[in-house]
Each structure stands twice: as structure tokens, then as C-alpha cells.
Structure 1
Amino acid sequence: MFEAINWPADMVPSRSPIHFTNELEVAASPEKIWSLLVDHRAWPSFYPGVEHVELLDGHNSLRLGTRFETNLAGQDVFASVQEFEPVKRIAWGGYPKAAEGSKAYHAWIITPTPRGCHLWTEETMQGPFWIELAKPAPDVFWRTHEKLLADLAEVATGRAGAPQG
């Protein structure tokens, strides 16, 4: 059912001390989910902790190669879109500005279902910066992405607080 992530060789899960996946069935079309993921202006409505996203290449929305700055996990982050298959998959990789040697790669796969779509998100993180952030609560990034999926589903379906199946 799922396609493999096109991991950069240095970010594969087996080489990453932090690796997690999250998934959710959503009663929204793949097109609706996609439109929210590629619209940087929509991110603050569903992405936990995101207050701004600035596209750096003059693009109006995310696309292959788009470089952007945002605040993720409480950190100012620089990233670029590295996978882009419209309405199916998108991934970006980047690093916190405070620790360029610590990297992250975050991928999304959207699969149509009879009731809407299945969202799969997977991330790998490397470097001392991310490891230190995770020490007090090792599942912090996984929990944040659980909330991300729930909030994205809520925005996509227009049903605040409605449970997703």
C-alpha cells in the first residue's frame, strides 16, 4: 500500500538515532490535504508551534527545490523541498539554524482511500542538537507529529474537535 521514502543516503533510518512514523486515516480528499501541505501560509493553522514560514525563492507555494525558513520544534529551521510528487508525496530536509550539523528529513505520503485518504509521515533526525532536545521526553517528536496529523485532519475536514477514524 505504501511507497518507499526516497531517503537521502545519509538520512536513512538505519543511520539516524531518531526515527519515527505517524499515520492517520482522514475523511478529506488527497487534494485537500495536499493543498494545505504546499501552502506555507496554512501551516500555522495545523503545524504545532509554527508561527511563520518564509519561502526564499520567490515561489508562492512549496514545490521541488523550494528553500524555506520556519520555526519547528521551537527552533528556527532552514529547509528545502527534496521530494515532490503532486497530491502523493512531499519531503523536506533541513537543519536548525543554531546547529547546522544536526539534520532532519521529513516525508509525507498521501494515499487515496474510499473515505478520503491515508496520511503517512516519517522523519529521521541526526546530530547532538536533536538528541539533546529529545532527552527529557524521548517520544516528544512522535507526540508532536501525532498532534500535527490530528490538527491537519481537523483543518482539512473543517470539523474542530471531531474524532478521525
Structure 2
Amino acid sequence: MYDKVIWPEQYDPKSSALYALNDIDVKAPPEVVWKLLVDAENWSSYFPPEDRVKILSGGSELALGARFSRVTVGFPMSLHVTEYEPFTRLAWETTVDGDETGSSAYHGWVITPTDDGCHVLTEETQQGPFFVEELGRRHPGALYRYHQDWVERLARAAEAEVAKPAA
């Protein structure tokens, strides 16, 4: 049994408009996957759609309390890291820049060691008129598909990192 995201009450999947869970087994240690996840400004090196990420609060990696921005499928967003447990848990809260409807999202990652690497699980909930209209009505299933592509590419990148010959 794998751990799941620890939800702040307002983002619980039972009371959120949209929810996606994606997971994958990775033949690489948690530390390798973690390094790829916290290096947000370089997500595009393995996941091209995330090519406009900027850490705003200083530092070159995500950390607890870090603020960062990204443009996802054409929408600028502001994010705040709310959970950070090295090699195990990472989560952030998201608002869409310019959205006056109060829509928000919560995205968490959980990395669990396995005998031959690790298991990566990501879950996200979204709520509010912006997300309901954009991802619920206009593009149903898009959140799940986007995250599935992300976890698959993350797994390939981590496994390729492990396969590199030692320098």
C-alpha cells in the first residue's frame, strides 16, 4: 500500500470539483526522482510543456514556502510550496493569475521506495469556476492525461539518469 497526498481540508477530493490520481513505478531511487521534481525551472528538460517555470522566492530548487510561477497550457499561475519532505513528499497550492473567481488547486507528489526503485504518485484537486469551465467542461480528462504524460516522462528521465555511466 502506498501513501497518498495529505490534503488540506479545503482541497479534499471528496469536496473538489476535479480530481486526478496518476502513479507509476520507477526503476530509480527516490533521490533521483526528487532531484528532478524540485528542479522546477528545468522541468522542461524531460517534460516540454513545463517550459515557463520560475522560482520567485530565491534559490534554484523548490523548498518549503517557496513561491514560483508557471504557465501551464497557456495560463499563467502562481504557486506556493506547502509541503516539503525530502525524497518523500512535495505539494503546492495554485491560483490562476488574473482569475477573479477564487479558483484554486492543490497538487501533491508522494515518492515511496520499492525493491527496485520507487513508486511515484501524484494527485491534484481543482475547484472553482475557472477550473470547472476550462478543465471540467472544455477539456474533460485533460488533467489526468497531462499528469499521466508527466509521470511517464519523469520516470523515463529518472531511469535515464541512473543508466548514465559514472564519470
TM value normalised by structure 2: 0.89
- Name 2:112's counterpart in structure 1: 111
1:29 Cα deviation (Å)?
A: 1.1
Equivalent residues, number: 159
- 2:164 is matched with none
Aligned to 1:27: 27
- Which position in structure 2 is the counterpart of 1:74? 74
- Written as runs of structure 1 = structure 2, the 5 A alignment for 1:84-95 is 84-95=84-95
Q: What residue ranges of structure 1 are gaps of 5+ in the alignment? A: 160-165
Amino acid at match of 1:147: D
More deviation, 133-142/146-155: 133-142
Alignment partner, residue 37 of structure 1: 37
Match of 2:55 in 1: 55
Is 1:147 aligned with 2:156?
Answer: no
Gaps of 5+ in 2: 162-167
1:73 deviation in Å? 3.3
- 1:70 deviates by 0.8
**Counterpart in 1 of 2:125?**
124
- Cα deviation, residue 5, structure 1: 2.2
- Which consecutive aligned stretches of 4+ in structure 1 deviate over 6 angstroms post-superposition? none
For residues 77-105 of structure 1, the C-alpha deviation after alignment (integer angstroms, 9 at most, x for no partner) is 10010011000010011111031511010
The percent identity for this pair of structures is 40
Q: Distance in 1 between matches of 2:19 and 2:117?
A: 27
Aligned-residue Cα RMSD (Å) equals 1.5
